[in-house]
């Protein structure tokens, strides 16, 4: 965060809101996780996904094929248009996420003709309520882990570079590029990543491996894929916080049975990050 003498009114407002959400999150943790009455009510609502391994491989490949195909088409178009590097990066992210969604949608469309894919319907009101609760409960935990992890990186002398997309947001002024970035971060990314990681990988592995292993493996993979390992490990400060966030999302999805819960929570986390960055008090 910035020094107090550099804070703007928007920064003070965002900081006050952040503190209020931390306090609300601490109350949510007690209310929904630690209180004796709630501990006795932990009944998973997520149905088992008995999808054959070959069909799950098709599920994953459908998303990858969609992302690669759409990215290839968009790449050829952007080379002709000669877009700026930042615009190319944001557009590339949007196209890749959109391609994943199209591929997964195609899988469900084709798979539903012969058999059920095992996904439960979504209760919009429940998803919104539980998504807000998940976001608030996760926020103080993720922030605490973030500070501890950043301290450890500094002590070990490891890189602490931000993710490229966060750097783009910080230096981009109002306009089409910022609007496109916000749209990608708050709509496409939460929807795609939750369908892939929680609705796909976690839901599949949960029925075949011990619960702790399914949560740990998918959460570590989620965090690791947000680090540019070949580019000076940019984004390494997000590794531990995102692993914790992903684990919380797995538990929330398991307890509600609603993928909409984690989509809403994920979107709120990204919105919170954007507000902090634009207010100049954090990245």
Q: Which residue would you say has higher pLDDT here, 110 or 2? A: 110
pLDDT at 89: 80
Confidence of residue 117 (pLDDT cuts 50, 70, 90): very low
Average pLDDT over residues 149-176: 82
Whether the predicted pLDDT of 82 surpasses 80: no
Average pLDDT over residues 269-279: 90
Q: Check residue 118 and report its DSSP letter.
A: -
Lowest mean pLDDT across 94-98, 115-119, 135-139? 115-119
How many other CB atoms are found less than 10 A from the CB of residue 15? 18
pLDDT in tens, 44-73: 778 888 888 888 898 889 999 998 888 888
Residue 165 phi/psi, 5-degree rounding, is -65, -35
pLDDT in tens, 206-265: 999 999 999 999 999 999 999 988 877 888 999 999 999 999 999 999 999 999 999 999
pLDDT at 283: 60
Q: Which residue would you say has higher pLDDT here, 173 or 150? A: 150
Whether the predicted pLDDT of 2 surpasses 70: no
Rounded Cα–Cα distance for residues 64 and 134 (Å): 29
Average pLDDT over residues 107-136: 76
What percentage of the chain has pLDDT greater than the value 90?
A: 42
CA within 13 Å, CB half, 194: 28
Q: Which residues are CB-neighbours of 249 under 8 A, at least 6 positions away?
A: 134, 138, 194, 197, 198, 262, 265, 266
Rounded Cα–Cα distance for residues 108 and 115 (Å): 10
The strand pairing partners of 228, in sequence order, are 234
Both tokens of 171, joined, read: 């230096």
> Interhelix angle for 259-279 vs 164-171, to 10°?
50
Alpha helix positions (H), 225-258: 239-256
Average pLDDT over residues 145-162: 90
pLDDT at 115: 54
């Amino acid at each position: 965060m910035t020094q107090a003498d550099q804070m703007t009114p928007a920064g003070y407002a965002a900081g006050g809101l952040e503190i209020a959400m931390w306090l609300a999150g601490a109350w949510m943790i007690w209310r929904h996780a630690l209180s004796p009455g709630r501990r006795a009510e932990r009944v998973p609502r997520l149905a088992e996904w008995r999808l054959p391994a070959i069909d799950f491989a098709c599920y994953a490949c459908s998303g990858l094929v969609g992302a690669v195909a759409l990215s290839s088409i968009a790449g050829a178009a952007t080379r002709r248009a000669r877009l700026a590097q930042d615009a190319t990066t944001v557009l590339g992210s949007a196209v890749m996420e959109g391609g994943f969604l199209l591929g997964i949608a195609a899988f469900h469309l084709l798979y539903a003709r012969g058999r059920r894919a095992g996904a439960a319907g979504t209760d919009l009101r429940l998803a919104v309520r539980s998504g807000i609760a998940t976001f608030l409960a996760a926020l103080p935990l993720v922030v605490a882990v973030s500070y501890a992890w950043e301290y450890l990186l500094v002590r070990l002398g490891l890189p602490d570079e931000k993710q490229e997309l966060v750097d783009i947001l910080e230096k981009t002024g109002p306009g089409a590029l910022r609007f496109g970035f916000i749209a990608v971060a708050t709509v496409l990314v939460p929807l795609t990543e939750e369908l892939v990681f929680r609705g796909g990988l976690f839901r599949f592995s949960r029925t075949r491996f011990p619960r702790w292993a399914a949560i740990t493996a998918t959460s570590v993979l989620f965090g690791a894929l947000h680090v540019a390992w070949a580019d000076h490990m940019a984004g390494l400060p997000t590794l531990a916080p995102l692993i914790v966030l992903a684990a919380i999302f797995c538990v929330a999805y398991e307890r509600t049975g609603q993928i909409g819960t984690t989509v809403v929570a994920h979107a709120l986390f990204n919105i919170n990050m954007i507000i902090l960055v634009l207010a100049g008090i954090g990245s």
